[in-house]
Amino acid sequence: MRIEKLVSALSLLCITTLCWSAETDKLEYHYLGEEIASVVDPLVDEQLIPGFYLSIHKDGQKIIERVRGYSDEEEELVPSENTLYSIASMTKPLTALAVFQLLETTDLTLDSELAEYIPEFSDMLVADGGSYDSQLRVAEEPITVRHLLTHTSGFTYSSDITGVGDIADTYNSLRLLTLESNSISRWGSLHDHLMKLSELPLVAEPGTKFTYSVSYDVLSRLIEIISGREFGKYMEQEIFLKLGMTDTHFKVPENKLARLSRLYSPRTRTYQIPGKPVMYQESDILGKEDKNFGLTHSFSSGGTGLLTTAADYSRFLAFLIDRGQGSRLKISKDSFDLLLKDQTSAEFGINMLTESFGQQTKETVLSYGLGIKLTENLSSGSNFDHDYLFWSGAFNTHFWLDPEKKIFGIFMTQFTPTRYLVVEKIDDLLDNHF
């Protein structure tokens, strides 16, 4: 009898402790949610953007969800985890994952040369700094898969994105692999774009300098050649379906169009009227007939092409946090190490991104496909500690993950150009709580 009473008492104590712990967590998350709201809510309150969706996950559970405003004011579409957003460069980490599948299942290696698969990229010319005033010369080194994954290939982007010099202006005038070219293409297929790309000089010697670029579009063509499948089809069959990402597309299916957000840009003219002026308007980047990307489709862009939901992209982030545990998609421990760890600081230092992205990317390095924000006040030669991993898209979509604390978050809105960088502030708040 005494043993039974003791067991009963211990059981009651455990239940009480669990309840207290759950209530404490709930209260803690409430305070955290209010602090995070003070960071993101002003974007809508000050009428800088029409609305947003934010979620934060820890230990496999969604602990914070915040929704404000509209993802499409005209349709009065309230943001949710199932709203479809164009994620632009947040496509790149998924493309990197596809590359690592091929590194494990084919003869492809990080040091494989691009010209081995696409001969037109042999004997590339270099215009140092992207300037036609510099003396053109033949590149001394071939472009490799490693260069493409780390944006050290010597390619650039169009000048309407983050491109460098005269070469970037040429990309722009040709409409070569621009943001909108995967929806409205002057050159046709991805193959055709790369044939035109191969005719233009590089802006730096391969392997010597970080320049944010079309490298991931080049990788997507490489995946097509090696797999024998159109890139979008490969991604659907080998990545999205295996991760359960059933709402991730290069072109939005007809039956999902009602969930598609609208793309906005800064308002070009404001009026002196009472109250806070609206600082945004519908974007015309694609023309007024299209409210967003994903309605038309020229080719599947591995650099900028995807539309997805917060719920779907969270499945990918959970895959990274859990290192694939329980997933149908299998890659090795070595591949996870390469994807989640610093691969560039030893050669390029810790401020390699600043020329392309500005001072907010100081003390930031790259893995293969992800940015890594380092802890503050570091100097070259230190043993670098990761603060968090992250990436963003041109339309103000952002994600970050902290594998050590098992935390990840995602912020979705549709506003171009990228202007509202909320990740670091939110991560600082999370660090204060966990």
pLDDT digits (tens, 9 = 90+) for 273-303: 667 899 999 999 987 789 999 999 999 999 9
Residue 315, helix vs strand vs coil: helix
Q: What is the pLDDT of residue 268?
A: 80
Check whether 157 has a pLDDT greater than 70: yes
Same domain assignment for residues 229 and 281: no
Same domain assignment for residues 369 and 277: yes
pLDDT band at 19 (very low <50, low <70, confident <90, very high): very low
Number of domains in the chain: 2
pLDDT band at 122 (very low <50, low <70, confident <90, very high): very high
Say how many residues make up the chain: 434
Q: What is the pLDDT of residue 378?
A: 56
In a domain, 143, yes or no: yes
More confident residue, 14 or 225: 225
Same domain assignment for residues 291 and 261: yes
Rounded average pLDDT over 255-272? 88
Average model confidence (pLDDT) across the chain = 92
Long-range contacts, 9-15 (Cβ 8 Å, 24+): none
In a domain, 31, yes or no: no
Check whether 399 has a pLDDT greater than 50: yes
pLDDT band at 389 (very low <50, low <70, confident <90, very high): very high
Same domain assignment for residues 282 and 229: no
Which residue, of 206, 234, 262, is where some domain finishes? 234
Rounded average pLDDT over 299-311? 98
> Is 392 in contact with 418 (CB distance < 8 Å)?
yes
pLDDT band at 324 (very low <50, low <70, confident <90, very high): very high
More confident residue, 190 or 19: 190
Which residue, of 212, 234, 256, is where some domain finishes? 234
pLDDT band at 162 (very low <50, low <70, confident <90, very high): confident
Minimum mean pLDDT among 26-35, 174-183, 303-312: which range?
A: 26-35
More confident residue, 381 or 219: 219
Rounded average pLDDT over 399-427? 95
In a domain, 9, yes or no: no
In a domain, 215, yes or no: yes
Minimum mean pLDDT among 38-52, 176-190, 274-288, 350-364: which range?
A: 274-288
More confident residue, 70 or 273: 70
Q: Using a pLDDT cut of 90, give the percent of the chain over it.
A: 84
Minimum mean pLDDT among 83-92, 158-167, 253-262, 411-420: which range?
A: 158-167
- Nearest partner of 357 among 415, 409, 421, judged by Cα: 421
Q: What is the pLDDT of residue 97?
A: 98
Dist CA 243 CA 135 (whole Å): 48
In a domain, 34, yes or no: no
Dist CA 3 CA 25 (whole Å): 33
Same domain assignment for residues 276 and 399: yes
Which residue, of 168, 202, 234, is where some domain finishes? 234
Same domain assignment for residues 230 and 284: no
Read out DSSP for 72-132?
BTTTTB---TT-BEE-GGGGHHHHHHHHHHHHHHSS--TT-BHHHH-GGGSS-EE-GGG-T
Same domain assignment for residues 146 and 198: yes
Q: Using a pLDDT cut of 70, give the percent of the chain over it.
A: 91
More confident residue, 109 or 385: 109
- State the SS3 of 238-304: HHHHHHCCCCCECCCCHHHHHHECCCEEECCCCCCCCCCCCCEEECCCCCCCCCCCCCCCCCCCCCC
Please tell me the pTM assigned to this model. 0.92
Same domain assignment for residues 211 and 114: yes
- Residue span of the structural domain in which 184 resides: 94-234
Query: For position 218, which CATH number holds?
Result: 3.40.710.10
In a domain, 374, yes or no: yes
